[in-house]
Amino acid sequence: MILSLIAATGLLAAVALNSAALKMRRHEEAFSIVGGAVGIPEDHVNTLAGIEIAGAVGILMGLLIPPLGILAAAGLAAYFGAAIIAHLRVGDLSATAVPLVPLFLSLAVLGLRVMTA
């Protein structure tokens, strides 16, 4: 079960860091979804990226400090769940699937971290 936790944690960290990097670089497609479709103000995009980076660092450190991993995984699950709600709120069904994978990964890491703590 520990190997599953490590693999899922590494994958989620990579996904979260990639998402943060796209936001920070103002990647055209990612930025049009976050800013255009969902309506997040441009000056809040770096904050969203910071949350993803903090979550990624937290789950990685959580491999050594289980309570931190639990909190970070729960935070990422809440973040990606809120992203889905934000897309649904504005009727942007086409991009709703984008945060689904990291949400499920966050829930998997959370579950595995709780079971192995």
Any idea which residue has 């809440």 for tokens? 78
43 pLDDT band (50/70/90 cuts)?
Answer: confident
CA distance 67 to 48: 23
Domain ranges of the chain: 2-116
**Whole-number pLDDT of residue 95:** 81
Helices (H) and strands (E) in the chain, counts: 5, 0
Percent of the chain with pLDDT over 90: 70
CA distance 107 to 92: 23
CA distance 74 to 84: 15
